[in-house]
Structure 1
Amino acid sequence: MGSISVAQAAQRLGVSVPRIHQRIADGSLVAERIGAQWVVDERSLLHVQERSKAGRPYSARSAWALIEVSEHDRDAVRPSGSAAVSRARKQLGRLLEMAVARPDGEESVKELAASLRSMFRNRAERRQLRAAPADLADLQADPRWSSLVDLGASGIASADVEGYLEESQVAGVVKDYLLVESDRDANVVLHVIPDAQNPFPNSRLRLAADLAEHRGPREEARAVELVHDLAMEWKDAAR
């Protein structure tokens, strides 16, 4: 994706040009000045469009409850009388119903991927950073990670480092590897979670949310495929 003019951005969002300049000033839209004009990063614009249309996301607690429930037999997660588990099962059921029929086109894939991003965005604070390429191997091997995201296992080739890190460990990792915030050339993605939060390393649903947040066509397609497979398993188990 590239950049578009302020006027084009205003047209897409259905707002005035001054409102786009306000969003640039407050940082909610990524833009750069070229000569006397501002140009808006198209990926950033899509992010704003999506958030304006998406429904209310789950709380962090609810998001992790859905991820936990998805990884267990539907009748053996916790005692059946647990109201929290019952609620999580219902929420998961509604999500999986959307994926039972395999999306058959680009727009369907994008719609389900957008739903994943919206529903699960509160599970962790997602930070994009830049490390020196020579440090990536050491960073990936650092024992402070709670869980690394293995994009290669999902069929997505990536030299980047991505993982879940407890909040108390973030400052030390950022300092030790001289990580800097980066929107466009990030090669490190941190998902910051509260201390002691289980990131469920083997969860397909969590991996689907991770992939959807990359917003690339391959990542979105793989995210939807993972949720579809999970939906079919739950449908079979219900028979």
Structure 2
Amino acid sequence: MEIDVKEASRRLGVNDSRVRQLLRAGELRGRRVGNSWAIPAEDVARLQRRGRRPGRPLAAKRAWAVLDLLEGGPAAWLSDSARSQVRRYLADLVDPGADGWLAALRGRSRVLEVVAHPAAIERLRRVDGVWPTGPSAAAVRGFDLVALAEPIPQFYLAEEQWPALSHSLALREGAEPRLVVRLPREVWPFAEGRLRGVGDAVLAADLLEAAEPRAVAAGAACLSELLDDWRRARSRA
């Protein structure tokens, strides 16, 4: 079920302008219907359950740098000074938990909920440069998600790939999605450093956006473990 901005603001206890800010920031998912928004009620419920007041997100390049550094990569798309700042950010970071990680990293991608024929999804899986993510990919990697209901597939692809693929495979945004497409902002992170394909840090960050509490907890636990490992490696260097 989808609701409008006014109903979302009532449920969240904020004004309409704040709901629109959350939509633009990617904190709430929604789709444009003319001059209005249609917002999945379950996404509003997710924020209600957490009782969370989102903080300021990292810039997209820095959010991707956090994940790359946690994977042992160099965050090669940043300048030396910006990379040093992100390293200091990680070194000083007190474990933020699921809500803090999500707030910091949420600006890294544009997330599309897509209506697609099953055959088109299978064709998309075979396209070069398209990387699976989400709970299904995390379960294959060994995350403790075996008891979750079968989620809809999720994929990363480059922003410039989307127009041609959406046309050739008849993919479109819609209210009853069969597919989630993630388009990284500002940088294509999977061609640099250690992020060749989707690493555990990226899978964990994506799990933070799931509706299931177990998936969110698994993502937060993985990021905390990776942060501890990064700090130990840094202290030995």
Same fold flag (TM > 0.5): yes
What secondary structure does 1:83 align onto? helix
Shift of 1:232: 2.7
Give the aligned residue type for 1:178. Answer: A
Shift of 1:165: 0.9
Residue 120 to residue 14, structure 1, CA distance change in 2 (3 Å)? closer
Match of 1:82 in 2: 80
Deviations 1:121-146 (A, max 9, x none): 2211111112112332222122241x
Shift of 1:198: 2.1
Shift of 1:173: 1.3
Does residue 160 of the first structure (1) align with residue 152 of the second (2)? yes
Shift of 1:49: 9.6
Number of residue equivalences: 207
Does residue 141 of the first structure (1) align with residue 126 of the second (2)? yes
Q: Can you give the 5+ residue segments of structure 2 that lack an aligned partner in the other structure? A: 24-29
Match of 2:27 in 1: none
Aligned mates of 2:187, 2:52 — CA distance in 1: 32
Does residue 180 of the first structure (1) align with residue 178 of the second (2)? no
Deviations 1:154-198 (A, max 9, x none): 344645331211111101111122112134x32211111368612
What secondary structure does 1:148 align onto? strand
1:220 to 213, 216, 219: 216
Aligned mates of 1:77, 1:30 — CA distance in 2: 34
Pairs within 5 Å for 1:16-31: 27-28=36-37, 30=39
Equivalent pair of 2:46/2:211 in contact (CA under 8 Å) = no
What secondary structure does 1:142 align onto? coil
Give the aligned residue type for 2:159. Answer: E
Residue 170 to residue 69, structure 1, CA distance change in 2 (3 Å)? same
Equivalent pair of 1:117/1:213 in contact (CA under 8 Å) = yes
Deviations 1:83-102 (A, max 9, x none): 2221111222344x316xxx
Match of 1:98 in 2: 95
Equivalent pair of 2:11/2:44 in contact (CA under 8 Å) = no
What secondary structure does 2:189 align onto? coil
Residue 186 to residue 77, structure 1, CA distance change in 2 (3 Å)? closer
Match of 1:61 in 2: 61
Give the aligned residue type for 2:95. Answer: M
Report percent identity of matched pairs: 21
Q: Can you give the 5+ residue segments of structure 1 that lack an aligned partner in the other structure? A: 32-40, 100-111
Residue 206 to residue 234, structure 1, CA distance change in 2 (3 Å)? same
- Work out which of the two has the higher radius of gyration on C-alpha atoms and give 1 or 2: 1
Equivalent pair of 1:167/1:193 in contact (CA under 8 Å) = yes
Aligned mates of 2:174, 2:230 — CA distance in 1: 39
Give the aligned residue type for 1:121. Answer: R
Give the aligned residue type for 1:54. Answer: P
Shift of 1:48: 8.7
Aligned mates of 1:85, 1:77 — CA distance in 2: 7
TM-score, structure 2 normalization: 0.69
Give the aligned residue type for 1:148. Answer: P
Equivalent pair of 2:56/2:104 in contact (CA under 8 Å) = yes
2:117 to 132, 135, 144: 132
Residue 187 to residue 91, structure 1, CA distance change in 2 (3 Å)? farther
What secondary structure does 1:208 align onto? helix
Equivalent pair of 1:9/1:45 in contact (CA under 8 Å) = no
Aligned mates of 2:157, 2:202 — CA distance in 1: 15
